[in-house]
Amino acid sequence: MTKPKIPEGFVKVSRPEFFKLLDEAAAVDPMPTTNHPEYTTWETLKGPRIVWGWSYPGWRNSGEGPKAYAVKKNNPQTKES
């Protein structure tokens, strides 16, 4: 398994920080998508539909190997807006 590359426009966060921010984003209700088997995009369901976050690996994986979490840089909840 290759090392995950954080997408451009996203900032890497720890797993606990990702889920803390996810809880704080309840107003826009980010949910995981299954569009990409290698990684997961988290898109908002309330308001305009935008990609809120990203996690690796996606749904088609063995559960082993590197893991990574990121949120959109312009997300008001991130420190690096």
Residue 4: inside a domain: no
- pLDDT tens figures, 29-77: 999 999 999 999 999 998 888 899 999 998 888 778 889 999 998 776 5
Residue 3: inside a domain: no
Residue 81: inside a domain: no
Residue 35: inside a domain: yes
- Domains: count for the chain: 1
Q: How far is CA 28 from the centre of its chain?
A: 14
For the whole prediction, is pTM greater than 0.75? yes
Helix (H, G, I), strand (E, B) or coil at 12: strand
Residue 63: inside a domain: yes
Instruction: Provide the domain limits for residue 49.
Output: 10-72
Cis status, amide bond into 76, omega within 30 of 0? no
Residue 54: inside a domain: yes
